Amino acid sequence: MEENKHSLSPQEQDDEAKIQAAFQHLIDTYLNTNHRRKVDVITKAFHFAKQAHKGVRRLSGEPYILHPIAVAQIICEEIGMGSTSICAALLHDVVEDTDYTYEDISNLFGPKVANIVEGVTKINSGVFGNNASAQAETFKKLLLTMSDDIRVILVKIADRVHNSRTLASMLPSKQYKIAGETMYIYAPLADRLGLNKIKTELENLSFSYEHPEEYHSIMEKLASSQPERDQAFEKFTPAITEALDAMGVRYTIQSRIKSPYSIWQKMQNKNVPFEEIFDILAIRIVFTPQNRAEEVSESFRIYSALTKIYKPHPTRFRDWLSNPKANGYQALHNTFMSREGKWIEVQIRSDRMDDIAEQGFAAHWKYKDKNAPYDENELDKWLNSIKEILDDPQPDTLDLLDTIKLNLYAKDILVFTPKGEIRTMPLNSTVLDFAFSIHSSLGLHCFGAKVNHKLVPLSYRLKSGDQIEILTSATKQIKPDWLQLATTAKARTKIQAVLRREAREQQRKGEEQLRQFFETKNVPITTADIDRLVRYHGLSAREMLFQLVGEGKLTLSETEVAVASGKRVNKKKGAWWRRLPFFSREEQEQPAVMAEGMNFQKVNRKQTFVLTDEVLPRCSMATCCNPLPGDDSIGYITPQGGLEIHRRNCSTASRLKSQQGNDILATAWDTHKQHLYRTTIRLRGVDGSDVLFSIATVLHKMHNAPVHAIQLSSNDGIFEGTISLSVYDTADLRNICQQLQAVEQVQEAVRML
């Protein structure tokens, strides 16, 4: 029942008006779709959620119920889902944030809605102990539920979109955690499901919070260069319009602008400025076919007409009509030379292909009764691959998260079986990956392959068009180094499962040998005695000790008897066996030991931590990205209480933000050139007799930047090399790069990532 408006305060009346307006907008949007008109159940879910969240506000100050309504709006308007998903979106936080249970939701709205809500609900971190990441466990639960109902992940993605849109009201550390998690998992998921608009928005929002200066700089440059792109569009399209009109095609021509994040990523990967990104503009032709069954043929007819107007690039033609991308994307792409001498990309799609490109697999349902020529099984194939990964028990959920990530953002190649069947594989797949993609048994027993009738090793990287015949042996044994050869999630999961099984057998054998050895010495051995042996050998778990004994890599002697008995023995130095591939991440990736005298576990994580000249010597500069004062950075509080400083765009930092988000610290630099930090500059240019002298002259003038090493090599008149040196901060580094680029022969002087 609606509350009496006369008893409400002005603030409450204003809130109520906003809530009703948002819900009415949702209903209006829903009624404009092709879904069945189930307004009653949506209204029921709205009132239930509104009552459940009554009196609760978000950090922004608005009533909490506006968040579920916004998520439902995204589900309906931007993803194109129906009443079940809309109800689940309205109710998605009820079980997590209120006293209502799964059973309550199931009784009122049915098991389908309840299962989606349950799948989206976060997990209490206390359930998993100190060594598990609640973030990773939550994602694992999402995947388990998603494999039965894809709507779970769609609602979760919609929830993440709205949270990303409202990040401004959150603390910096929370912003970095959510942005990192979004870039690591949710944007790739959206991409894999074909939700291009949402993927792009998630990337740009995360980018704007992680690197605000770069984001605003690119936005300003995009705005200032817009007239130039408009002019190029106006000169390029009239000839196309004339040709398509003459053919009687129903179409629209759109301009597609590369997203700020994509531009920045290309600038980083190629080490070029904004001005040297030449594919910012693309032309998109979206047509409505006269006959839906002939849309592929019509796409090629349009392409053929374009080739008569502009010259196509000989190597950039992409046919995703005959072989759609794994996320369902279909189109023809090529780059054409304009009459002004500039290459411009043109994309050709039907209206159906355009819907799928923007809304992903959800858009397939819109066309499922219209006999459209597309593969409805791609989503099922991907979900089945997820199910296979989940079927193998993973002792470490963080490993699972990384394994699943291998299935995301993978570009595809097309290869053939010996019988000519076509199969899609991720780019950089090996022969071993292909064997496991056919069947697990084939992968476990393969020892090589014939590619295009030539013998190749398991490490051979597949290329599009390869025909592969797998060679097997019944006696073939899995080896730990196979993990270095496998790149796909399925292959790595199966190999790890076998290695763990073999490891458990060796551990059982080793434990038995250990106890028998001490029995022959008439020395009783206890758990405490075994723990002393573990510490003596520099190991982190009893299982490692048992395995080394079982494999014969650790020979038991009187020394072990003395250690187990508590006698003082010179401590064993670091052993080579510490990092074995079948043990969990905890043994593989020990974080840097914290400096003495400061435990960062006690730092207030809600505040931005200031990195001063006094604090920095107690921190650890991550070697994976070598941050410098002035970089966009974050801090990671290690389990030992140390503080690792990472650059925000570091791949390790991205993983930490998505898996150990509660240990992420927002940081700010306040340094005054007291400490030097090592970095590397990459050089490239035209070779000459005085190149080295010119470079050395520049470096000689840099009194506060000691050089550690210079390496230069020349080939066909082009030199490349690196300079290893120390600087105080990024300002010094930029100055040195500018001075080096001022040398006539030097074309490029950039910091190595």
Which is the catalytic residue, given 62, 97, 104, 720?
97
Annotation says 96 is catalytic: yes
End-to-end CA distance of the chain: 60
Closest CA to 115 of 143, 152, 81, 86: 152
**Cα separation of 338 and 258, whole Å?**
19
**Long-range contacts, 419-426 (Cβ 8 Å, 24+):** 420/467, 422/323, 424/323, 424/326, 425/462, 425/488, 426/487, 426/488
**Cα separation of 662 and 519, whole Å?**
48
**Cα separation of 71 and 3, whole Å?**
24
DSSP symbol at 631: S
581 touches 610 (CB < 8 A): no
Beta bridge partners of 721: 683, 712
Instruction: Taking each helix axis as running N to C, give the angle between helix 83-90 and helix 151-165, from 0 to 180 degrees, rounded to the nearest 10.
Output: 50
- For 613, counting Cβ atoms within 10 Å of its Cβ (0-12 exposed, 13-18 middle, 19+ buried), the class is middle
Tokens describing residue 335: 């780059």
Beta bridge partners of 664: 636
Which is the catalytic residue, given 62, 96, 351, 388?
96
Amino acid at 578: R
194: left (phi over 0), alpha (psi -120 to 50) or beta: left
What is the sign, positive or negative, of the torsion defined by CA atoms of 132, 135, 139, 142? positive
Residue 276 has a CB neighbour count (10 Å cut-off) of 10
- State the greatest distance between any 2 C-alpha atoms of the chain, in Å, as a whole number: 98
CA 216 to chain centre: 23
Tally of CA atoms within 13 A in the half-sphere of 714 that contains its CB: 11
- For 244, counting Cβ atoms within 10 Å of its Cβ (0-12 exposed, 13-18 middle, 19+ buried), the class is buried
Amino acid at 179: A
603 touches 609 (CB < 8 A): yes
Tally of CA atoms within 13 A in the half-sphere of 297 that contains its CB: 5
> What is the DSSP secondary-structure string of 652-708?
HHHHHHHHSGGGEEEEEEE--S-S-EEEEEEEEEE--TTHHHHHHHHHHH-TT--EE
202 touches 423 (CB < 8 A): no
Amino acid at 485: L
Tokens describing residue 246: 């003459």
Active site residues: 96-97
